[in-house]
Amino acid sequence: MMTINNEKRAELLAPAGDTESLISALDFGADAVYLAGKTFGMRAGAKNFTDEDLITAVQTAHERGAKVYITCNTVPLNGELDEFPDFIARARQAGVDAVIAADIGIIAMIKEFAPGLEIHASTQTGVVNYRTAAELYKMGVKRVVLAREVSLENIKTIRKNIPDDMEIEAFVHGAMCVSFSGRCLISEYLTGRNANRGECAQPCRWEYYLMEEKRPGEFFKVFEDEDGSYILNSRDMCMIEHLDDLLEAGVYSLKIEGRAKSAYYTALTTNAYRAALDCALDGTQPPRWVLDEVNKISHRPYCTGFFYGHPSDGSGSQDPNITTNGGQYFKDSSYIREYDFVATVDRCENGVMHLTTRNFFKLSDELEILAPQKEPIKFSPAKMFDESGEEIDTARHAMRKIFIPTDISVPEHSLLRKRVD
């Protein structure tokens, strides 16, 4: 691998659906986080941030040298526009570093009601060429978040044909949409849930049957091949091994998808991609444990999205679970889950680890500790005690305090997980 010559250090951008995820992102190495307020953000399933929470979030991130970007990536209707000036003014007052917007009218309103606030064009804008990026730059956009459908070769072309001070951001990990960058209308058509409002019912993951007009009630499976009929189902993206290619193509910000996902997901993916990005910048290959980490979170089968063009034979990956194809997966729509997050480490002092439980686990389970910005370590405690000091071999209830004697020094906010069958 060659050493990447970045004029400024590339950015690792992590999701923060709530305060716990925000802290996880910061602890585990994010340079910046993206989050949403209670309106205008395209993730209805996330807890998101009140005005007061946003102020605290920005202060916390800035104290730790990280940036905060707020998403305004819905396409608002006429009746919603009157609320936007106050919303964006409050976001600016809270100190956010940039706003991620998709709608041209919203971009104009940001310039009007929050002058000077940096603007990033959301992936919902659908930027796939340099002319669109250049026109957005003229409108005051500092960064384009490229559509997921853009290949590495096209990223290079975009980079060569846009102003030097315009940044490129691209997704490197997480869920993919079979439609064009989330502009799908199937969910709203079938269920009334609008994908652009973060309410997608994911009908692309459903298993479909066909009913013939003259045979009502008689269902026939829609086969793509002998394995099943999930003809719209997509894999998850994973570029953990290929960050050097993205940097060489001109990507500045490497974005992890997942504002609706757990703090454990944020911690694990941020930790893995922090280590992988540091290796890419140094011109070295990421160690095996980094590649293994992305398989320890609940996920669909992985691929490298559209970066390498049309589906190929899957060559170029050390990990047999990652293919370098465009990403459809026809067998089923289930998730792969090898590990469960079971506890957080509150602190470790006087040879005792203080934990808060999250899920059921036993002393005999195969356990690992994931500490911020470190390789995970195997953990085989001999004893465990509950809040009353009674020795136990099983932690049965969530959000209870337990204590484990150990000679390992573990920092606070570390995570404990168990292997599952």
pLDDT for the residue numbered 117: 97
Q: What is the CA radius of gyration of the chain?
A: 23
| 212 neighbors 312 (Cβ within 8 angstroms) | no
In a domain, 186, yes or no: no
Closest CA to 256 of 150, 172, 168, 144: 172
Over residues 107-124, mean pLDDT: 96
Residue 389 CB contacts under 8 Å (≥ 6 apart), including other chains: none
The domain that holds 246 is classified in CATH as 3.20.20.70
Domain match, 262 and 409 both: no
Of 250, 279, 301, the one marking the end of a domain is: 301
350 shares its domain with 266:
no
Residue 95 included in any domain: yes
pLDDT on residue 179: 65
Mean pLDDT computed over every residue of the chain: 87
312 vs 253, higher pLDDT: 253
Question: Tell me, what amino acid is at 309?
Answer: G
Q: Are residues 133 and 273 in the same domain?
A: yes
Residue 326 lies inside a defined structural domain of this protein: no
Residue 218: how many other CB atoms lie within 10 Å: 10
SS3 88: helix
Nearest residue to 265 (alpha-carbon basis) of 18, 10, 9 = 18
Helix (H) or strand (E) holding 171: strand 167-175
Decide if 159 is inside a domain.
Answer: yes
Q: What are the Cα distances from residue 80, in Å, to 103, 185, 321, 375?
A: 13, 20, 44, 46
Residues 357, 293 within the same domain: no
For residue 269, the model assigns a pLDDT of: 98
For residue 392, what are the contacts with CB-CB under 8 A and spacing of at least 6?
384, 385, 386, 402
**Same domain for 296 and 354?**
no
| Inter-residue contact 30 to 48 (CB < 8 Å) | no
Judge if 281 and 405 occupy the same domain: no
CA atoms within a 13 Å half-sphere pointing along the CA-CB vector of 114: 23
The letter for the amino acid at 98 is A
Sequence-distant (≥ 6) Cβ neighbours of residue 244 within 8 angstroms: 1, 2, 4, 280, 283
What is the rounded distance in angstroms from the CA atom of residue 202 to the CA atom of residue 234?
Answer: 11
Q: In this structure, how many other beta carbons lie within 10 angstroms of the beta carbon of residue 363?
A: 16
| Chain segment 79-114, per-residue pLDDT in tens | 889 999 999 999 999 999 999 999 999 999 999 999
Single residue among 284, 301, 318 that ends a domain in this structure = 301
What share of the chain in percent tops pLDDT 70?
A: 84
Indicate the residue among 279, 301, 323 that finishes a domain: 301
Residue 143 is assigned to a structural domain of this protein: yes
With tokens 């910005």, the residue in question is 373
Q: Is 133 found in the same domain as 46?
A: yes
Residues whose CB is less than 8 angstroms from the CB of residue 144 and which lie 6 or more positions away in sequence, other chains included: 120, 121, 125, 127, 132, 133, 136, 158, 162, 166, 167, 168, 169
In a domain, 320, yes or no: no
pLDDT of 310 > 60? The answer is no
Residue range 271-282, pLDDT digits in tens: 999 999 999 999
- CATH code of the domain covering residue 368: 2.40.30.10
pLDDT band of residue 189 (cuts 50, 70, 90) is low
Domain match, 137 and 280 both: yes
Helix axes 152-160, 130-138, angle to 10 degrees: 40
d(CA 260, CA 16): 8
Nearest to 154 by CA among 317, 305, 374: 305
Same domain, 38 and 118: yes
Determine the residue type at 360: F
Burial 71-86 (b: 16+ CB within 10 A, else e): bbbbbbeeeeeeebee
CA dihedral 259, 262, 268, 272 (to 10 degrees): -10
124-173 confidence digits (pLDDT tens):
899 999 999 999 999 999 999 999 889 999 999 999 999 999 999 999 99
Q: Round to whole Å and give the CA distance between 358 and 353.
A: 15
The reply to whether 139 and 284 lie within a common domain is yes
Residue 210 located in a structural domain: no
Residues 320, 180: Cα–Cα separation, whole Å = 27
**Greater model confidence, 180 or 390:** 390
Domain that holds residue 56: 11-177+236-301
Kindly tell me if the per-residue pLDDT of 215 is higher than 80: no
Indicate the angle between helix axes 19-27 and 51-63, nearest 10 degrees.
10
CA distance 350 to 84: 52
| 76 in Cβ contact with 107 (< 8 Å) | no
Is residue 130 a part of any domain in this protein?
yes
**Highest-confidence segment of 180-189, 226-235, 326-335:** 180-189
Count: domains in the chain: 2
Span 30-73, pLDDT tens digits: 999 999 998 775 555 557 899 999 999 999 999 999 999 999 98
Span 314-368, pLDDT tens digits: 444 555 556 555 455 545 556 788 999 999 999 999 999 999 999 999 999 999 9
Q: Are residues 276 and 365 in the same domain?
A: no
Q: Do 371 and 296 lie in a common domain?
A: no
| Residue 13: strand pairing partners | 32, 255
